[in-house]
Amino acid sequence: MTDIYEDIRKGERGAMISIAAYLILSSLKLISGYWFASSALLADGFNNLTDIVASLAVLIGLRISRKPPDSDHAYGHFRAETVAALLASFIMAMVGFQVILDSSRSLLRGERADPNIWSAGIAVVCAVVMLGVYLYNRRLALKINNSALMAAAKDNLSDAMVSIGAAVGIVGAQLGLPWLDPAAAVLVGLLIVKTAWDIFRDSTYRLTDGFDEDKLLDLRSTIARIPGVEGIKDMKARIHGNLVLVDVVVEVDPGLTVRESHLISDTIEERMSKHHNIFNVHVHVEPKTEASS
């Protein structure tokens, strides 16, 4: 249990790095976007503001999830980060739709801003910085097996791509295609909404106890190969924050003693923890009957 909480602390460090990067880059993009009259860079800056909210949600969720189990939360508070991510998705969606609306109006009104080429350079520099943050968070997420931080890392990567898109729109405007700058802003808004949808879909899937069937079959196969297990009557799994909880009903030889059946249960728990990093396995043992043969 101590290792899990320590990994959560490491995840918090990655979230704080993201927040610091977004604070600096969003300020730079918004100021430069207004100064150089770039709709795409402004939209990218607002995108980073939503990313601050998302990263804060991840950070708050991680901190709440470190609270130990109590009388009302026997399984702990690990789902707090999933709830926080769900709330962040709504905020991101609202900002994304606002960016799309404002940029679409600029296109329909025929507004033709001529952004300074320096704004493209700023967008490229920001893209490089976010790529570095992505690589750091991705490596840390893989090391501590933290899906929330991995989601934040993917958001970092999408932000790097958005900045590159903004740079393309700005350069296009310099080449005699002024409509390309607000058009790129519309694209940025769409990417914000898509990211919000992806977070919403993943969060609701986890909160409603959704679990990948292929992964469940893999877990089932591991248990079926354990000596003494003669059948698997029922098995299900769910995600609790970043942890996987498994409930399984196995069949064993009815002639086994209670002690021997208990040893099989211990083996199941050890194998699932060692090979699949399962946090908790609840094993129910039943005698194998002729009907189940």
Residue 82 belongs to domain with CATH number: 1.20.1510
Are residues 178 and 116 part of one domain?
Answer: yes
Are residues 152 and 39 part of one domain?
Answer: yes
How many domains, the chain?
2
Are residues 192 and 250 part of one domain?
Answer: no
Are residues 65 and 198 part of one domain?
Answer: yes
Are residues 233 and 115 part of one domain?
Answer: no
- 276 within 8 A of 218, measured Cβ to Cβ: yes
Are residues 194 and 151 part of one domain?
Answer: yes
CATH code of the domain in which 253 resides: 3.30.70.1350
pLDDT tens series, the chain, 293 aa: 446 777 778 888 888 998 999 999 989 988 988 888 777 778 788 878 878 887 887 888 888 887 888 888 877 788 887 887 788 788 778 877 887 887 788 777 765 556 677 888 888 999 999 999 999 998 988 887 776 787 778 778 878 877 887 788 778 777 777 777 777 778 877 887 888 898 889 889 988 989 989 999 999 999 999 999 999 999 999 988 778 899 999 999 999 999 999 999 999 999 998 888 888 899 999 998 865 55
The two structure tokens encoding residue 232: 């698997």
The answer for residues whose C-beta is within 8 angstroms of residue 90's C-beta and 6 or more apart is 196, 200
Are residues 167 and 198 part of one domain?
Answer: yes
- 77 within 8 A of 198, measured Cβ to Cβ: no
Are residues 133 and 22 part of one domain?
Answer: yes
Examine the fold and report which residue of 207, 240, 261 is the final residue of a domain before the chain moves on. Answer: 207
pLDDT reported for residue 290: 65
Are residues 236 and 185 part of one domain?
Answer: no
Query: What's the domain range around 221?
Result: 213-292
CA distance to 80, 87, 149, 235, 249, per residue, from 76 (Å): 9, 20, 19, 22, 24
The two structure tokens encoding residue 166: 């903004």
Identity (one letter) of the amino acid at 105?
A: R
Are residues 172 and 137 part of one domain?
Answer: yes
Examine the fold and report which residue of 162, 191, 207 is the final residue of a domain before the chain moves on. Answer: 207
Are residues 61 and 201 part of one domain?
Answer: yes
Examine the fold and report which residue of 174, 207, 240 is the final residue of a domain before the chain moves on. Answer: 207
For residue 242, which phi and psi values (nearest 5 degrees)? Answer: -105, 5
CA distance to 51, 117, 130, per residue, from 24 (Å): 12, 21, 11
Are residues 217 and 203 part of one domain?
Answer: no
